[in-house]
């Protein structure tokens, strides 16, 4: 593997754009690429100049899946010791919202990576799927769980058992994708959405993300408790005071993230 960076990060106006940069392999998610991606997400999560992340790939592929060559000789114990899948949870655990901007293939681990993000935008070239069944395994980084929650058990079961792919338009109709744009418009549309979110109070955005995640992953009772806790906690922030005063004074608020 060359010394070229596998993940590129650019930060501008509170937005970090993280680009998977292994185009010759269709951004196959090698352990090295995932280590760089996790490091990039960690850096953005602790950087006060970043409020929103955009995760994207290339025009041909967001990520075409895991690196099969790197996995073919693995054993259960090797997988356990390496914690190869557990490390992926750092993407999901990022406090700041992540927008996946998907063009081309998002398959297997690539689809799972997109589903670890908080919003998925797609170009009209995007293809989604969990084709692991075709190589003798099943999704292992959340595909059976997140896809089922996103599109329902019957559609998820069909896609996972057949390995079939769906188009961006089908993914949007199923509820997996928020919006579909022409390929040339996707970067600007992703940035437009990121900028809109970045203009909101950062701590409230993080608390809202946390509460919505609980809605998808826990019971209603547990989710309501988290929502209540986060709502109360935000009354200890300067942005809450600024937002409410600005509303009463009929002016535009200035949010500082404090």
- Report strand pairing: 98-102 vs 105-107: unpaired
Q: Is 112 a catalytic residue?
A: yes
Q: Is 132 a catalytic residue?
A: yes
Q: In sequence order, what DSSP letters do the residues of 38-92 get, joined into one string?
A: HHHHHHHHT-TT-SEEEEE--SSEEE--B-HHHHTT--HHHHHHHTTTGGGHHHH
pTM (predicted TM-score)? 0.93
pLDDT of residue 1: 43
Catalytic residue (one of 66, 106, 190, 204): 66
Q: Residues 104, 108, 112, 198: which is the catalytic one?
A: 112
Decide if 168 contacts 124 (C-beta within 8 A). Answer: yes
> Residue 91 in contact with residue 114, Cβ under 8 Å?
no
The ranges assigned to domains in the chain are 7-198, 202-248
Q: Choose, from 65, 104, 108, 109, the residue flagged as catalytic.
A: 109
Shared fold status for 7-198 and 202-248 = no
pLDDT of residue 144: 97
Known active-site residue 100 = no
Per annotation, catalytic residue among 16, 28, 132, 211: 132
Q: Which CATH architecture has domain 202-248?
A: Orthogonal Bundle (1.10)
Phi, psi of 118 (to 5 degrees): -95, -25
Query: Which residues neighbour 180 within 8 Å (Cβ) at sequence distance 6 or greater?
Result: 121, 122, 123, 124, 126, 168, 169, 171, 172
pLDDT at 3: 59
Q: Is 129 a catalytic residue?
A: no
Assign a CATH topology to domain 7-198: 2-enoyl-CoA Hydratase; Chain A, domain 1 (3.90.226)
In this prediction, residue 29 carries a pLDDT of 94
What single-letter DSSP state applies at residue 206?
H
Sheet holding 165-167, edge to edge: 61-63, 105-107, 127-129, 165-167
pLDDT tens for the 258 residues of the chain, in order? 445 899 999 999 999 999 999 999 999 999 899 999 999 999 999 999 999 999 999 999 999 987 777 777 777 777 767 777 788 889 999 999 999 999 999 999 999 999 999 999 999 999 999 999 999 999 999 999 999 999 999 999 999 999 999 999 999 999 999 999 999 999 999 999 999 999 999 999 999 999 999 998 899 999 999 999 999 999 999 999 999 999 999 999 999 999
Measured between alpha carbons, how far is 2 from 192 in angstroms, rounded to an integer?
34
């Amino acid at each position: 593997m060359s010394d070229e960076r596998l993940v590129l990060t650019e930060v501008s106006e509170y937005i970090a754009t993280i680009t998977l940069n292994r185009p010759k392999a269709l951004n196959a998610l090698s352990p090295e690429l995932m280590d760089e991606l996790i490091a990039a997400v960690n850096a953005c999560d602790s950087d006060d100049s970043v409020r929103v992340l955009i995760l994207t790939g290339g025009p041909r592929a967001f990520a075409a899946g895991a690196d099969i060559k790197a996995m073919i000789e693995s054993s259960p114990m090797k997988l356990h010791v390496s914690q190869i899948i557990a490390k992926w949870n750092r993407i999901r655990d990022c406090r700041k919202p992540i927008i996946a901007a998907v063009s081309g293939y998002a398959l297997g681990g690539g689809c799972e990576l997109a589903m670890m993000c908080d919003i998925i935008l797609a170009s009209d070239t995007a293809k989604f799927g969990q084709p692991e069944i075709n190589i003798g395994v099943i999704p292992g980084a959340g595909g059976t769980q997140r896809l089922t929650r996103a599109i329902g058990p019957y559609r998820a079961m069909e896609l996972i058992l057949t390995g079939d792919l769906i188009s961006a338009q089908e993914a949007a109709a199923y509820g997996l994708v928020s919006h579909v744009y022409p390929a040339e418009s996707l970067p600007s549309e992703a940035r437009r959405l990121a900028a809109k979110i970045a203009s909101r109070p950062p701590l409230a955005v993080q608390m809202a993300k946390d509460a919505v995640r609980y809605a998808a992953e826990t019971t209603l009772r547990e989710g309501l408790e988290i929502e209540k806790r986060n709502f109360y906690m935000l009354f200890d922030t300067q942005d809450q005071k600024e937002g409410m005063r600005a509303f009463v004074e009929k002016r535009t608020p200035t949010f500082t993230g404090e």
